[in-house]
Amino acid sequence: MSLAAERMGRILPSQTIAITQKARALKAEGRDIISLSAGEPDFDTPDFIKKAAIEAIQRGETKYTDVAGTPALRKAVAERLNADFGLDYRPEEVCVSTGGKQVIYNAMVATLNAGDEVVIPAPAWVSYPDIVQLADGKPVIVPTSPEAGFRLTAEQLRKAITPRTRWLVLNSPCNPTGSAYSREELKALTDVLLEHPQVWILTDDIYAKLTYEGREACTVVQVEPRLRERTLTMNGVSKAYAMTGWRIGFSAAPVSLTKELIKLQGQSTSNACSIAQAAALAAVSGPQDFIGEMVAVYQKRRDLVVDALSAVPGLSCARPEGAFYVFVSVQQLLGKRTAGGHVLESDEDFVKAMLEEVGVAAVHGTAFLLPGYFRVSYATSTELLEEACRRIARFCEGLV
Ligand code: GLU
């Protein structure tokens, strides 16, 4: 008899985490590795945020909080979302969780019955389909195309929805492509959603503050307030405030859903770490100008990576509107042999050989449900990015 439950057979280990851990382990062994695999800012958490956490410890804020988060943080999160997107969330509609991942997990486990469908445009972040499957749901993957800027079209959405559809998961700017929906593009989707009252929308806005050329990031409820009663607006401090390790994500959703999320969380992890909550409170209610400074740096790095990799024969990529990823096509290089003798039959072969032969770690497109690509995270120093791009070029130029 197998140790693992049947549901464990439905999921794979998170590939973003697996590859990042592998790169970390190789580095610890002394190998010269540049990791472009982790979706995590290289910036340190700002000092005023760290100070807030230290002061919370000193004040003795080391005890349980309300399951949904401290009243101060729930209020501050509602105010942040309202100020950023012109929304009208109330504190009782906010639930603070241990990272954005737990928000999604809670939402799916709390709402899906066996066989309920969740529409996920691909490429998509590795964990969405697996979380849906753990919750007994059925991911309905809708592949988008580079020609459409990796954006779901209204026509595709209309075709994907069935009477069993419970959720659409939207992620803009998107991990792994960096594509962001404009207001008009989002409106085309929300018009379709208005016709299907059984469908809820989970909008993962974790990268919303990271958009380039002054482009506006917009969210579902802002574009279509009539969908407010069936939308879960998800966000968190990990990416915009360089706070991945603190593990604070949050949802804003109607009280009917929020109550279920709190009930589930109360029977699993209870409140997110009290000290991390104090830090998150400082982050969302403190000065926000450092985010603009980080965004300016990310934009330069994006251009560096896109320019360098587009110049490599056989590679191609678009210039993304947001997040800190570039999704690079390797389709023209599949079937070739590397200088080290590996035959590249798939994008996974490509990233494995690249790691082994030139020490650059990246995540293959198949992990994000679109084969033939690899994802570069450019949330790393300019010097390392320049060196990584040189190595990738050398690797590709050595293919025969
Ligand atoms: N979201 C990040 C990534 O895509 C962090 C790792 C993870 O949780 O998947 O790399």
182 is a domain residue: yes
* Ligand 1 center from residue 37 Cα (angstroms): 9
Last residue of a domain, one of 285, 308, 333: 285
249 plus 392 within the same structural domain: no
Of ligand 1's listed atoms, the one at least distance from the Cα of 175 is 4
| Nearest residue (CA) to ligand 1, atom 3 | 39
Clarify whether residues 215 and 354 are in a common domain.
no
Name the domain boundary from 233, 265, 285: 285
Per-residue pLDDT of the chain (400 residues), as tens digits, is: 789 999 999 999 999 999 999 999 999 999 999 999 989 999 999 999 999 999 999 999 999 999 999 999 999 999 999 999 999 999 999 999 999 999 999 999 999 999 999 999 999 999 999 999 999 999 999 999 999 999 999 999 999 999 999 999 999 999 999 999 999 999 999 999 999 999 999 999 999 999 999 898 899 999 999 999 999 999 999 999 999 999 999 999 999 999 999 999 999 999 999 999 999 999 999 999 999 999 999 999 999 999 999 999 999 999 999 999 999 999 999 999 999 999 999 999 999 999 999 999 999 999 999 999 999 999 999 999 999 999 999 999 999 9
Would the CB of 35 count as within 6 Å of ligand 1? no
Let me know whether 22 and 71 are in one domain.
no
The per-residue pLDDT for range 57-93, each reduced to its tens digit, is 999 999 999 999 999 999 999 999 999 999 999 999 9
In a domain, 15, yes or no: yes
Q: Which atom of ligand 1 is nearest to the CA of 206?
A: 1
CATH of the domain at 265: 3.40.640.10
Alpha-carbon distance of 19 to 353, in angstroms, equals 13
Residue from 154, 217, 215 nearest 185 by CA: 154
Domain annotation covers residue 57: no
Is there a single domain that holds both residue 173 and residue 109? Answer: yes
Residue nearest to atom 10 of ligand 1 (CA): 39
Burial of 5 (0-12, 13-18, 19+ CB in 10 A): exposed
Same domain, 351 and 268: no
**Cα-to-centroid distance, 82 and ligand 1 (Å):** 26
* Enclosing domain of residue 143: 62-285
Residues 110 and 156 in one domain: yes
According to DSSP, the β-strands at 34-35 and 360-361 are parallel
**Do 161 and 38 fall within a single domain?**
no
Angle formed at CA 81 by CA 217 and CA 186, multiple of 5 degrees: 35
User: Are 113 and 149 contained in the same domain?
Assistant: yes
Tell me the percentage of the chain whose pLDDT exceeds 90.
98
Which atom of ligand 1 approaches the CA of 38 most closely? 10
- From the CB of 125, is ligand 1 less than 6 Å away? yes
Q: Domain for residue 329, yes or no?
A: yes
The last residue of a domain, from among 228, 263, 285: 285
Domain count of the fold of the chain: 2
DSSP letters spanning 232-290: EEEEESTTTTT-GGG--EEEE--HHHHHHHHHHHHTTT-SPPHHHHHHHHHHHHS--HH
**Strand duo 165-171 + 200-204: pairing:** parallel
Is residue 170 in some structural domain?
yes
How many angstroms does the Cα of residue 40 sit away from the middle of ligand 1? 7
Residue 355 sits in a domain whose CATH number is 3.90.1150.10
The pTM is what? 0.96
Residues 150 and 248 in one domain: yes
Structural domain contains residue 193: yes
Q: Given this model, what pLDDT does residue 322 score?
A: 97
- Overall size of the chain counted in residues: 400
Together in a domain, 280 and 202:
yes
Query: How remote is the CA of residue 239 from the centroid of ligand 1, in Å?
Result: 10
- Domain assignment present for residue 234? The answer is yes
Q: Is 38 in the pocket of ligand 1 (CB under 6 A)?
A: yes
Together in a domain, 208 and 118? yes
Q: Are residues 136 and 260 in the same domain?
A: yes
The half-sphere exposure of 51 on its side-chain side, counting CA atoms within 13 A, is 4
- In a domain, residue 1? The reply is no
Rounded distance between C-alpha atoms, residue 323 and residue 212, angstroms: 9
Ligand 1 pocket: which of 175, 239, 246, 248 to mutate (most atoms within 8 A of CB): 175
For 310-383, strand residue ranges (E) read: 316-317, 325-329, 360-361, 363-364, 373-377
* Residue 16 alpha carbon to ligand 1 centre in Å: 6
